């Protein structure tokens, strides 16, 4: 076999049409072997003799796409010094673009030893582990164009590749649960009709199924256990894992882009699947443990701010390079449109504390590729000082956990929630205005993959996670949920009607709030997980979306009526820029609008402007808010000032019906466009017409939206 010196950059395996260049970083190993794996279980080892800046490299003519390979690192095994080289381990390439196979947990876990000390004489792992794969980088993108949807037009739909598509009756069985299913017209049609502009996929980086879960007969369903930051997860490919997963993922992105839907990836750069000191050696640990991980002072153990056993070393230049190379790869080669960063506070831990000015954020800010896509932080981790909502740099948007908590509290009747609810409804200026960000920095959500589904939020007071095998100890215990009087399933019609109304309340509130709304997959169908608020290991019908016409567990959906209401609320938001302002409200008339009314005004149910005493009342649970469509004060794409209809939103979160008075000086004629007390939430026809000073009775825990239709409206609706 010919072996040429090759190049130290780019890292990983790079096919050029005639052969493949291999390059891998390690400062800890004395020497590194590239192992080419054959289908008969044998391997050919090639020592990487060339080294530049601790990158070992070689070029092998004739090595083609589909070739499986791995590395063996020869060097010191000294855990007391943080060194864990072991040539018995076949290691994944940290830059592998595709991965074949899976970890074969069993009584004899070949190549993986749990506990200390780890033997250097473990059985050869090649036939029983994952292997890196050389891929063909060439793909016909045709005229693919990124939608580049601005944040104020964005509606995010968080989904799991398998969970979204596994039971869809309109999909061929052989593609269900795969990237190909995402590209199927039946799935795309639903997203387009719903009004979704961005599909946020739960982890699709190659991940590992945990040994503990396998022993329990469960699977790592969510996938927050990454081992390959460049490789699409191979189990989501419908027709092979020798590079086919890359082609299939690209095809899905191309199809979604054609429908105008962006693709955002939920990425896990805070830790890896190698776990703590008792975990398996799969890749990074065996190549250069102290360069990749945050170690304790004695170097034997791992610092952990993620709750997973380890944390990547964010002050290591090689870790930072790998993360940035990965992000650029997914943007430039896979054409994704943005990222949601899991436990993003860990990425800011350059030393111990969360540092807003850490190197990672500096690199993102100056990167000409990564800085131009959507960057969404999950702004917390489990370490000390890890809750950082509102503290990320101006380039970033954030999952607004305070929005979730406040909206839940408001609608379940928690005292003293009114003032904070008003802040969350209007874009959380207390979190984002001081550093120059706008309402669009807030990614608003009521539910997500982690926690109760929308249906379960109104059907359970307590978590019911026994199926996870941890005696119901896992998952959040404080859900801010309310079961509406009965825990779980019930035949009580009043309870069922209240639950349906509460779900409509949450959806309408979410869609009419300033910021960027995010829907969790299946919530539009009232998907249930039977009270399980931590379905990370439930790769089954409990966690999969149940579609109309498909099969699934009894009870809890699919609710096609709720889906229609969700669609109506999304399109109401789309049609009216007053619900998706790019700037915060000022609380005063806007100059140049020739409108003496304030851009926003708050009223008691009696139609009087709210006073400090009203805001401070512990028992207050109802209010109205006027949104002035003639005072948006921002230009459209042509530089012309946007105007819109004005709206009056009435919220009654109290446990009894209340009369609401329409304010007398903010419009003479109104019509009801949303009433969550109705079974479908939207009045038939043109909706009831209401005059200034009239009274409307809102049933307990309901919401009504009025649209102004008189001569106070100035200008036409903008876009």
Please indicate whether residue 342 is annotated as part of the active site.
yes
Say how far apart CA 285 and CA 275 lie, in whole Å.
10
With both helix axes pointing from N to C terminus, report the angle between 359-366 and 317-332 in degrees, rounded to the nearest 10.
30
Contact between 304 and 91 under an 8 Å Cβ cutoff? The reply is no
Contact between 443 and 341 under an 8 Å Cβ cutoff? The reply is no
- Which token pair is 560? 């096609």
**Side-chain half-sphere CA neighbours of 299 within 13 A:** 13
Selected catalytic residue, list 304, 342, 398, 524: 342
Say how far apart CA 260 and CA 197 lie, in whole Å.
7
With both helix axes pointing from N to C terminus, report the angle between 401-412 and 493-511 in degrees, rounded to the nearest 10.
140
535 CB neighbour count, 10 Å cutoff: 26
| Helix locations, 271-312, DSSP H | 284-292
- Which token pair is 519? 């829907």
Contact between 498 and 504 under an 8 Å Cβ cutoff? The reply is no
607 CB neighbour count, 10 Å cutoff: 19
Say how far apart CA 294 and CA 657 lie, in whole Å.
56
Say how far apart CA 588 and CA 7 lie, in whole Å.
63
Say how far apart CA 322 and CA 22 lie, in whole Å.
15
Selected catalytic residue, list 266, 378, 524, 645: 378
| Helix locations, 236-378, DSSP H | 244-258, 284-292, 317-332, 359-366
**Three-state SS for 472?**
coil
Say how far apart CA 265 and CA 597 lie, in whole Å.
42
Q: Which of 80, 23, 82, 77 is nearest to 53 (CA)?
A: 23
Say how far apart CA 284 and CA 109 lie, in whole Å.
19
Q: Which of 396, 352, 403 is nearest to 376 (CA)?
A: 396
Q: Which of 27, 25, 33, 31 is nearest to 9 (CA)?
A: 25
Contact between 270 and 346 under an 8 Å Cβ cutoff? The reply is yes
Contact between 79 and 117 under an 8 Å Cβ cutoff? The reply is yes
Q: Which residue has the tokens 């599909």?
A: 199
Going by their DSSP bridges, the two strands 156-159 and 198-201 should be labelled as parallel
77 CB neighbour count, 10 Å cutoff: 17
Please indicate whether residue 378 is annotated as part of the active site.
yes
Give 298: exposed, middle or buried? Use CB within 10 Å, 0-12, 13-18, 19+: exposed
Active centre residues (catalytic): 342, 378
């Amino acid at each position: 076999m010919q072996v040429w010196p090759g190049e130290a950059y780019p890292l990983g395996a790079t096919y050029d049409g005639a052969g493949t260049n291999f390059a891998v970083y390690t400062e800890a190993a004395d020497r590194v072997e590239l192992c080419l794996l054959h289908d008969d279980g044998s391997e050919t080892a090639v020592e990487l003799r060339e080294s530049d800046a601790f990158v070992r490299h070689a070029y092998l003519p004739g090595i083609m796409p589909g070739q499986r390979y791995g590395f063996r690192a020869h060097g010191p095994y000294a855990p007391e010094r943080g060194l864990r080289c072991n040539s018995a381990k076949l290691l994944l390439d940290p830059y592998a673009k595709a991965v074949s196979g899976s970890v074969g947990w069993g009584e004899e876990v070949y190549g993986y030893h749990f506990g200390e000390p780890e033997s250097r004489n473990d059985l050869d792992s090649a036939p029983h582990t994952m292997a890196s794969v050389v891929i063909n980088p060439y793909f016909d993108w045709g005229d693919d164009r990124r939608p580049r949807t601005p944040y104020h037009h964005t509606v995010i739909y968080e989904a799991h590749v398998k969970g979204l598509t596994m039971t869809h009756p309109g999909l061929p069985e052989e593609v269900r649960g795969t990237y190909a299913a995402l590209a199927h017209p039946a799935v795309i049609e639903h997203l387009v009709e719903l009004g979704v502009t961005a599909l946020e996929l739960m982890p699709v980086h190659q991940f590992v199924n945990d040994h503990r879960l396998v022993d329990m007969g469960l699977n790592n369903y969510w996938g927050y256990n990454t081992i390959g930051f460049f490789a699409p997860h191979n189990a989501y490919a419908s027709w092979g894992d020798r590079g086919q997963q890359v082609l299939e993922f690209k095809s899905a992105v191309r199809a979604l882009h054609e429908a105008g839907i962006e693709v955002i990836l939920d990425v896990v750069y805070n830790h890896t699947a190698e776990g703590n000191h008792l975990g398996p050696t799969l890749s990074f640990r065996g190549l250069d443990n102290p360069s990749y991980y945050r170690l304790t002072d004695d170097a034997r153990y791992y610092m952990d701010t993620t709750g997973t056993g380890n944390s990547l070393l964010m002050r290591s230049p090689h870790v930072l390079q790998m993360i940035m190379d990965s992000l650029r790869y997914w943007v430039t080669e896979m054409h994704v449109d943005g990222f949601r960063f899991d436990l993003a506070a860990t990425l800011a831990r350059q030393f111990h504390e969360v540092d807003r000015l850490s190197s990672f954020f500096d690199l993102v800010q100056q990167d000409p590729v990564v800085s131009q896509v959507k960057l969404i932080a999950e702004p917390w981790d489990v370490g000390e000082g890890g809750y950082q909502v509102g503290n990320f740099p101006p380039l970033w948007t954030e999952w607004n956990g305070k929005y979730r908590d406040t909206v839940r509290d408001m609608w379940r009747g928690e005292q003293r929630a009114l003032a904070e609810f008003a802040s969350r409804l209007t874009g959380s200026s207390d979190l984002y205005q001081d550093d120059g960000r706008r309402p669009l920095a807030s990614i608003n959500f009521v539910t997500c993959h982690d926690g109760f589904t929308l249906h379960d939020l109104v059907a359970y007071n307590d978590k019911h996670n026994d199926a996870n095998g941890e005696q119901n100890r896992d998952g959040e215990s404080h859900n801010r949920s309310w079961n509406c009087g009965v825990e779980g399933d019930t035949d009580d019609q009043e309870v069922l009607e209240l639950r349906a109304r509460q779900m409509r309340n949450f959806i309408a509130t979410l869609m009419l709030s300033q910021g960027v709304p995010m829907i969790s997959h299946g919530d539009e169908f009232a998907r249930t997980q039977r009270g399980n608020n931590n379905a990370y290991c439930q790769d089954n019908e409990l966690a999969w979306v149940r579609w109309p016409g498909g099969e699934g567990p009894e009870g809890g959906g699919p609710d096609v009526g709720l889906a229609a209401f969700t669609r109506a609320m999304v399109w109401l938001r789309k049609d009216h820029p007053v619900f998706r302002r790019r700037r915060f409200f000022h609380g005063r008339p806007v100059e140049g609008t020739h409108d003496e009314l304030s851009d926003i005004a708050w009223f008691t149910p009696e139609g009087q402007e709210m006073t400090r005493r009203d805001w401070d009342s512990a028992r207050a649970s109802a209010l109205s808010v006027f949104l002035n469509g003639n005072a948006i004060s921002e230009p459209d794409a042509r530089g012309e000032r946007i105007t819109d209809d004005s709206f009056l939103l009435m919220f009654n979160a109290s446990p009894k019906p209340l009369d609401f008075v329409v304010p007398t000086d903010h419009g003479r004629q109104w019509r009801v466009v949303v009433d969550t007390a109705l079974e479908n939430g939207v009045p038939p026809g043109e909706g009831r017409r209401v005059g200034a000073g009239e009274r409307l009775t809102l049933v307990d825990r309901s919401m009504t939206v009025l649209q102004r239709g008189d001569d106070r409206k100035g200008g036409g609706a903008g876009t």
